[in-house]
Structure 1
Amino acid sequence: MFLGIDIGTGSSKAVLVDSEGTVLDQATIAHEMSMPHPGWAEFDAESVWWEETCRLSRRLLDGRDASALQGVCVSGMGPSLVVTDADFRPLRPAILYGIDTRAHREITELNAEFGSGELYQLGGKMLSSQSVGPKLRWLARNEPEVFSSATHWFGLNSFIVARLTGEYIQDHHSASQSDPLYDLQANAWSRDHYAAVAGHLEVPRLAWPLDVVGQVHRRAAELTGIPAGTPVCAGTIDAWAEAFSAGARRPGDTMLMYGSTFFFVQNLHDYRSHELLWTTTGVEKDSLCIAGGMSTSGSLTTWMKRLFGDPSFEDLVAEASAAAPGANGLIVLPYFAGERTPIFDPDARGTITGLTLSHSRGDLFRATYEGVAYGVRQILSFMGEAAEETSRLVAVGGGTQARLWLQIVSDVTGREQSLPAQAIGASFGDAHMAAIGTGAVPPETDWAVIGETIEPDPRTAEVYGELFEVYDGLYPATRAAMHSLAAVQRRS
């Protein structure tokens, strides 16, 4: 058996899989992130991430022959930042990935200090709220006692690896999103930038996500039920584990992840970059990807649902399905938590444009799906500029259960999407990585099976083409007003 655990924004999930890719059991624990201030997004790494890892492991292994477990791998939302003492105890709540936009001043400062062009060449991307380096600089400036007391820093998966094995590692992919600490073309830490930003913090050992980096030690075995000595792979950020789970491993394969946020990962033949996207390492050794991420998608539909008084999603989707494509001339700009790619603007704000007294709840909910779809079209066009044209789109994530949303994305982009039959996601990819990393199955083993294909409806092409042009111009037209309102919100 192989145990995969993924800790996401809305829940932690675990799965037990055999060497044929058959799911033996799975479990989920729901949780909520903390947003203590505007622009902040945090989690308690101890009471949520570690405790849920222990609970899920015990739940799946209880009553089974745990000696059959041959490997463990963990992924999680990221890049996140956890700082700890020498015993790997967190000193403050973990700071999340690009949806946490607190370090906007530090982004500007680091660009001025090193030069934005130099940093782009170093890391294959512009500094943004997604980058770990500015968050470290923010911590040093705003919580100096915490920063000076810290000895180690982690991403989510590497924190769990440390608690399981006692090993202090960072996987190459997560490191490649820790700008400006990592030299992407050398696949190594950039010592000068590391010293300037991470300061006294010990330098983690680098490993590829599939590498076995240690074994479960006795204390962790007692807490998790995982037998002591079980091999643990490095793991990585959830979107890349999810892409792996769906078999998106060949150059040109592009994963669309429908989650609380929307994420894109395209595998590359060779090094490519685009200033509006992120170039990173991939899951497999020496691989490269180009990626993008929107700050809201599923979280926006959940917000909309609450705004409407918490009707069922089934009712809202039925009403949205009854609305005409284009939502009767309504456009949602989905920047409700700022935006990552393609505008890298933490002060961007959501807009609902075109409202009239005749619009219905169904129009508004449909326009929310369509607004995210317009963002998908935008980012795919930039990927096409930066790299080879995508050979196929593979759709994954909890949002794929909303079939209307899948259809709208295909209609807006004009692209078909392949939908894997196995919809568990990143935790399934983790188990797959554990099986390959421990040598139990050959590296070329692919557990992904495509269940169906979503085809675009050509009858919608004209209306979506017209409204996409409006969407594309909305941000430039409203940017100044957004920034003024963001400044007001920070004072409130």
Structure 2
Amino acid sequence: ALTGELAVNYSAAGNIGGVFDINAGTWSEELMASLGIPATMMPDRLVSANEIAGHITVEAALELGVAAGTPVIVGGVDVGAANVGMGVLEPGRYVAAIGTSMNAALVSEKPIKNKGLIVWPYPYKSRALNYNFSGSATAGGITKWFRDNFAEHELEMQRNGTGINAYAALGEQAKDIPAGSDGLIVLPYFMGERAPIWNSDAKGVIFGLSLAHRKAHVFHAFQEAVAYALRHSIELTGEDLGDYIVIAGGVTNSAEWVQMFADVTGYAVRTPIEDAEANLGDVILVGLATETLTLEDVKSWQVLGEKILPDPKRHERYNQYFTLYRKLYADLSEDMTILTQISNETI
């Protein structure tokens, strides 16, 4: 209606029901046929999000009150656009957006195949760059579950104004717990799991509980579980990620948690200065498409904070715990499926 043109950007196409062929760079006739989707339903024209898709028509201009001929771009999809907003315009940078769930991705020239990752064309330079990501079902969602079920006191203090935010209170209690939570490991599969293990039967596990553990230990272990999940996703890329990774989302409200991500992964971590990633990404894409911005302009913007460096001793300890984290799932995955079958049986 705006331009008289029908187009979709490549990254959005990659997100539409798995019918985009990442190898051919177009719709997969085979997959659409198997799903009963007529080819006529899909736009013939695919564009990068940094390309002009069309121009405002005279009719649309009269209705909207903008100038006819104004260029229009098809914005990037969600986290892809957010990566652009964090200054990722070249391959080799790894960004994790961690809120209720986690989307952790590496931008690369070649798609990373057969590793359990989801692959889309990247919004910027879609014909040349790929967005390889792990979409974990729960991340901050498990700490919310913990807060809601085991932090009634902290929540009440928050609600009546006599205490700080409940998450901050739990973090304060846990800040001096050592790496590994004195022998606790949590598997964060509280809603099954998407990438990287692709198992709807996967279950949450708290392993190693003893009478010596307190609530703070368990909360700390929940935080570590999210960091282990991120490291698992990172290792599937099989790539050297350079001198730092980027972490965005609600987890960055906790300096201790950000430090934990660095210690677990072994990478320095940088976080956005302001929470405007996806919106800023679309602004950048518009600017590049219309040539009102240059790459040099964008690269000069300071959108990330300073590096948070990993502590070598804690990283060494986390290497041991992470090995056991991976082994635990391998050992229990069959039992998780059996548990699903038993719990679904009608008595």
**Category of TM-score, reference length = shorter chain:** 0.7 to 0.9
Per-residue displacement from partner, 1:417-446 (whole Å, max 9, x unpaired)? 122323322222122222222332124531
Q: Which residue of 2 aligns with 1:371?
A: 225
Q: What count of residue pairs does the alignment treat as equivalent?
A: 326
**Please, what TM-score do these two structures have when normalized by structure 2?**
0.83
Q: Which residue of 1 aligns with 2:33?
A: 195
Deviation at 1:215, TM superposition (A): 5.9
Percent of aligned positions that are identical? 30
Contact preservation (8 Å) 2:142, 2:190: yes
Q: How does 1:331-410 map to 2 (within 5 A)?
A: 331-383=185-237, 385=238, 387-410=239-262
Structure with more of its chain in strand, by fraction: 1
Contact preservation (8 Å) 1:267, 1:289: yes
Q: Which residue of 1 aligns with 2:304?
A: 450
Matched, 1:411 2:296: no
Matched, 1:275 2:129: no
Contact preservation (8 Å) 2:140, 2:226: no
Give me the whole-angstrom Cα distance separating, in 2, the residues matched to 1:363 and 1:165: 57
The counterpart of 1:297, out of the listed 139, 150, 175, is 139
Deviation at 1:289, TM superposition (A): 3.0
Q: Which residue of 2 aligns with 1:36?
A: none
The counterpart of 2:313, out of the listed 459, 464, 472, is 459
Contact preservation (8 Å) 1:248, 1:394: no
Alpha-carbon distance change, 405 to 441 in structure 1, aligned in 2, over 3 angstroms: same
Secondary structure, aligned partner of 1:371: helix
Q: CA RMSD in A?
A: 2.8
Give me the whole-angstrom Cα distance separating, in 1, the residues matched to 2:145 and 2:61: 38
Q: Which residue of 1 aligns with 2:179?
A: 325
Give me the whole-angstrom Cα distance separating, in 1, the residues matched to 2:98 and 2:231: 14
Secondary structure, aligned partner of 1:381: helix
Contact preservation (8 Å) 2:177, 2:220: yes
Give me the whole-angstrom Cα distance separating, in 2, the residues matched to 1:475 and 1:306: 26
Unaligned ranges ≥5, structure 1: 1-161
Give me the whole-angstrom Cα distance separating, in 1, the residues matched to 2:132 and 2:10: 15
Deviation at 1:455, TM superposition (A): 0.7
Which residue type is aligned with residue 243 of structure 1?
A: N
Contact preservation (8 Å) 1:215, 1:228: no
Deviation at 1:306, TM superposition (A): 0.7
Give me the whole-angstrom Cα distance separating, in 1, the residues matched to 2:65 and 2:324: 54
Give me the whole-angstrom Cα distance separating, in 1, the residues matched to 2:149 and 2:23: 46
Alpha-carbon distance change, 210 to 455 in structure 1, aligned in 2, over 3 angstroms: same
Q: How does 1:18-417 map to 2 (within 5 A)?
A: 168-178=6-16, 180-200=18-38, 202-204=41-43, 205-214=45-54, 227=66, 231-285=71-125, 286=127, 287-308=129-150, 309=152, 311=155, 312-383=166-237, 385=238, 387-417=239-269
Deviation at 1:274, TM superposition (A): 3.6
Contact preservation (8 Å) 1:172, 1:208: yes
Give me the whole-angstrom Cα distance separating, in 2, the residues matched to 1:207 and 1:416: 35
Give me the whole-angstrom Cα distance separating, in 1, the residues matched to 2:341 and 2:72: 45
Deviation at 1:166, TM superposition (A): 7.7
Deviation at 1:488, TM superposition (A): 5.0
Q: Which residue of 2 aligns with 1:117?
A: none
Which residue type is aligned with residue 213 of structure 2?
A: H
Contact preservation (8 Å) 2:98, 2:250: yes
Matched, 1:432 2:284: yes
**Please, what TM-score do these two structures have when normalized by structure 1?**
0.60
Q: Which residue of 1 aligns with 2:159?
A: none
- Greater shift, 249-258 or 327-336, is seen at 249-258
Deviation at 1:241, TM superposition (A): 1.2
Q: Which residue of 2 aligns with 1:95?
A: none
Alpha-carbon distance change, 486 to 221 in structure 1, aligned in 2, over 3 angstroms: farther
Unaligned ranges ≥5, structure 2: 156-165
Contact preservation (8 Å) 1:422, 1:448: no
Q: Which has the larger radius of gyration?
A: 2
Give me the whole-angstrom Cα distance separating, in 2, the residues matched to 1:361 and 1:165: 57
The counterpart of 1:469, out of the listed 304, 312, 323, is 323
Give me the whole-angstrom Cα distance separating, in 2, the residues matched to 1:276 and 1:248: 23
Q: Which residue of 1 aligns with 2:338?
A: 484
